[in-house]
Amino acid sequence: MSFLRRRKGTDSSKSQNLRCNIVKEDEKNNLYESLRKESYNSKKWSCWDSCCWFIGFVCSVWWFLLLLYNTMPSSIPQYVTEAITGPLTDPPGVKLRKEGLTVNHPVVFVPGIVTGGLELWEGHQCAEGLFRKRLWGGSFGELYKRPLCWAQHMSLDNETGLDPPGIRVRPVSGLVAADYFAAGYFVWAVLIANLAQIGYEEKTMYMAAYDWRLSFQNTEVRDQTLSRIKSNIELMVATNGGKKVVVIPHSMGVLYFLHFMKWVEAPPPMGGGGGSEWCAKHIKAVMNIGGPFLGVPKSVSGLFSVEARDIAIARTFAPGFLDKDVFGLQTFQHLMRMTRTWDSTMSMIPKGGETIWGGLDWSPEGSSFNCGAKTLRNNSINNTDRIPNINLADMNNVNYGRIISFGKDVAEAHSSKIERVDLLDSMKADMLANLTNCDIWIEYHDIGDHRIKAVADYKVYTAGSILDLLHFVSPKLMARGGAHFSYGIADNLDDPKYQHYKYWSNPLETKLPDAPDMEIYSMYGVGIPTERAYVYKVTTATDCSIPFQIDTSAEGGSEDSCLKGGVFSADGDETVPVLSAGLMAAKGWRGKTRFNPSGIPAYIREYSHAPPANLLEGRGTQSGAHVDIMGNFALIEDVIRVAAGATGKELGGDHVYSDIFKWAERINLQL
């Protein structure tokens, strides 16, 4: 019996062990399965992973190619390019050196908005370690590392338009200030290199760098920049045998130098005290590249909603993304708050009102530019004859005079069929207290829903009512701007009020210098659809968002239509319409006029845009785009010839592709 009990106990123990082993095996299997599932789940690919890997891949390939390009012998890229496209033409500097041209007149470069580097000299604790590091230009590394700190230091004081307390950001000096905007993206570098081919060097070239965020007169108040430019030009003339300088402003630099020419003649303390003959004694020619003489509609959309065509398109691909809090940076709100402290942007608001830009039912351009036309590579350097307009037959009529329209139907309807409310009555209404809990303050948060609705109910804004609109939605910005800039047409230029600096950058409210031997050039690209007017809508987003957006759903009726993505396009260089860049040289300064009393010769040099034939051409040598034109061989050759001593007549006079002279005839500008 005891034996049986022992055996029974043994069998029971074995079965118990067997059950335990089975349980353990099951637990192992369950553990293995759970680990396998966890491993599988951890390897699931998300959209965020795809974005990161894609960005990393693009950056890695870019830096690898950049490294490869900089380490390989310089002859290899040229050999590959020539094998594909055929023998390359000599750069203008090499070509003209073979012709015997050498350094002659000193050259002064005046950069435009955003292309000049800015560096930190004093900042808050968040900017520790950034002393004399570039905040603008270069790699923009600090924008990615600490975006809120970067935006804070790039902003100016909202009351004074000068430095905020405890922050000093200053322009980079020397040719490096604007030779490249970022690594591999040239601005002045190609022109500088070609000038060097005929003997130019730093003692005969000067980059007139300035803080492009400030109003023009404030660059003198804070940094004495205008005085420095005056002194440097006088030094260059004195140390180069009395030879006058050739000044080459680009983009907003054109307006800045126009301001300088009045400042340098005006008596102190407002002016530089050089006297009425200073320009005649020191300047041979002013070769304006891509000059927004009469403003750009793009500046209106920038001030109104921080938008342009590219940003509006980006919004359609990622609705709401740019309005959200991304990495602690509410992109559009911070961008608006920052850029609305940059008083210089107000220098490019359209000037001349409806006389220049058109009204509710007319515009100088008459009909739309053919935005679907292909551009031919026919921009001959030697062709200086007047060329018939390359635009095709008139397309659908477009009323470019309506710079902002709320709705496509409003943009296309006759003015008699548009019902509008009186904006002035709404302006008289009291401003509401800001009751929103927005982290970022912008002026839209103060005006209230009823005033926002009134903006849209006014329906249409021309160049004559745009100023009222901007005063309505951004009173602080326009209060500062009104002290530094003006946008009208002078009735009597001998009126003493036009001696004030606020008028000096408006060519319709100031006279050119008394310098009949000086020459002035308007040089710009044509053949690229350029922003001219906009279709807007009121957004339905949160209280803390910007209430107006370009209506990207507004499209024209055909492929060649110039209404695309809520933007009406006209002929220009992608940024500045032909009307703004060329009208003063075509009419306002043509011969002796009240704007040009000494009869300074004015020439138009247009460059028809031709895109690069392949990727190996980079940004192209025949580009007419606003910045890429700085590498246009035809333009560079014109500049070098004038710097070497040629006159406008020797260049061949006017070189015109567009209808600028026809448009000028339609504008009733008193001369």
What tokens appear for 570 in the block?
């006209």
Can you point out the beta strands (E) in 306-385?
325-326, 329-330
Whether 369 and 501 have beta carbons less than 8 Å apart is answered as no
Query: Nearest 5°: CA angle at 289, between 603 and 620?
Result: 115
Known catalytic membership, residue 409: no
- Sorted by sequence, the CB contacts under 8 Å of residue 467 that are 6+ apart come out as 349, 478, 487
314 contacts: CB under 8 Å, gap ≥ 6:
322
Q: What is the C-alpha to C-alpha distance for residues 364 and 362, in angstroms, rounded to an integer?
A: 7
CB atoms within 10 A of CB 407: 17
Cα separation, 484 vs 501, in Å, equals 7
Neighbours of 343 (CB within 10 A): 23
Nearest to 178 by CA among 167, 168, 188: 188
The rounded radius of gyration (Å) of the Cα atoms in the chain is 31
Distance CA(484)–CA(368), nearest Å, equals 34
For residues 405 and 301, what is the distance between their CA atoms, to the nearest angstrom? 12
For residue 227, indicate whether it is catalytic: no
The length of the chain, given as a count of residues:
671
CA 416 to chain centre: 36
Contact 308, 114 (CB under 8 A): no
Task: Return the SS3 of 392.
Answer: coil
* Residue pair 479/487 in contact by the 8 Å Cβ criterion: no
| Active-site residue (options: 626, 638, 654, 658) | 626
Give which of 519, 631, 618, 607 is closest to 246, Cα–Cα: 519
Which amino acid type is present at position 406? F
Beta strands in 219-371 (DSSP E): 245-249, 283-289, 325-326, 329-330
One-character DSSP codes across 508-522? TSSPPPS-TT-EEEE
Interior angle at CA 106, CA 271 and CA 289, nearest 5: 75
CA distance 228 to 208: 8
Peptide bond into 611 cis (omega under 30): no
Nearest by Cα to 528 from 357, 429, 657: 657
Provide the token pair at 464: 């004559």
How many Å apart are CA 605 and CA 384, to the nearest integer? 9
For residue 3, the tally of other CB atoms under 10 A from its CB is 7
Tell me the CA end-to-end span of the chain in Å, nearest whole number: 135
Q: DSSP string of 397-433?
A: ---TT-SEEESHHHHHS-GGG-----HHHHHHSPPPP
Catalytic residue among 573, 628, 654, 659: 573
- Of the residues 155, 215, 251, 299, only one is catalytic, namely 251
- The rounded Cα 301 to chain-centroid distance in angstroms is 12
Nearest to 315 by CA among 548, 550, 148, 540: 550
- The β-bridge relationship of strands 107-110 and 205-207 is parallel
Residue 325 known to be catalytic: no
* Catalytic site positions: 251, 573, 626
